[in-house]
Copies of this chain bind each other. A is one copy, B any other.
């Protein structure tokens, strides 16, 4: 094998602008591993990047993608603990939409024994996000009343499992009534967003995981209990269909509130925002979070793979995610 395939963002726009291209493979340098990628994970941030709305994205053209699973193909000088052919999961922090990833070895971790390579590719970003939000920011504990807004999304599915493991009482929301049994299967109470809004007893939360951002933040915040906290993890309310996404992202940003600290005194609550990508710019946190993947096997956490597309069908994969048709993680298979 002398060439690899990859998918680059060369211009901003609709999903159809994404195309597979080829380039020669590279040998891993000192401290690096090369991975024959089986699956690449797709994230909302990739869509925001494709639309030109992600401030921390590299300059185009660039290869997006935060995470892969696959088998170790080559090991660079000075790397120990990996063997050729070993199944691994890895954070790539850009460059993940590729058939062969060359990354620092500290960003790779042995595939948890209870997961296959599909589930593995669904793990890094979603698990790191859930972990940062629940364990590091909110510090969820036994007895907490927890609301997971996007309960069927890649983060939500792991967040429910993690919150239940921590002993919390969890409610999961969905916009689609037919997804309620899936949420209940994870051990949470399931409500549609409409049912939740109409339920006057659905209040007093110790922790709300908000994924929509924008105008949805304030009405949810109003349902926090005393000393409760919200962690915002995205702006998915700004993405609905390819055509209107530019306008929607701008609207979502405009609708995202500025919160007066004086008003916070009235509610006795707190608010965090989490951009896992920013956290992963810090090598200390990359190492800490990669190591924490050991918990995935210990707790038996299972990411939920929504749909797998051939890498050449990346436009369809993006479209599914932006129209909110997916339950769980969307992957590209190489």
Contacts and interface: CB of A to CB of B under 8 A. Distances in A.
- Which of A269, A271, A285 has its CB near the most chain B CB atoms (within 10 A)? A271
Contacts of A227: 132, 136-137, 272, 274, 279
Contact of A229 (B217, B267, B272): B272
Interface stretch (A73-81, A255-263, A320-328): A255-263
Interface residues of A, number: 36
Contact of A262 (B136, B231, B256, B274): B256
Nearest to A233: B265
11 contacts: A136-B227, A137-B227, A137-B270, A256-B260, A258-B260, A259-B259, A265-B275, A266-B275, A268-B273, A268-B274, A269-B272
- Which of A141, A268, A285 has its CB near the most chain B CB atoms (within 10 A)? A268
A213 interface: yes
A271 B270 contact: yes
Contacts of A213: 261
B264 A261 contact: no
Contacts of A141: 139
A278 B259 contact: no
A226 interface: yes
Contacts of A266: 275, 278
A232 interface: yes
Nearest to A137: B227
Given A261-B258, A285-B226, A272 B275 contact: no
A2 to B, nearest CB: 40
Contacts of A258: 258-261
A295 interface: no
A273 B256 contact: no
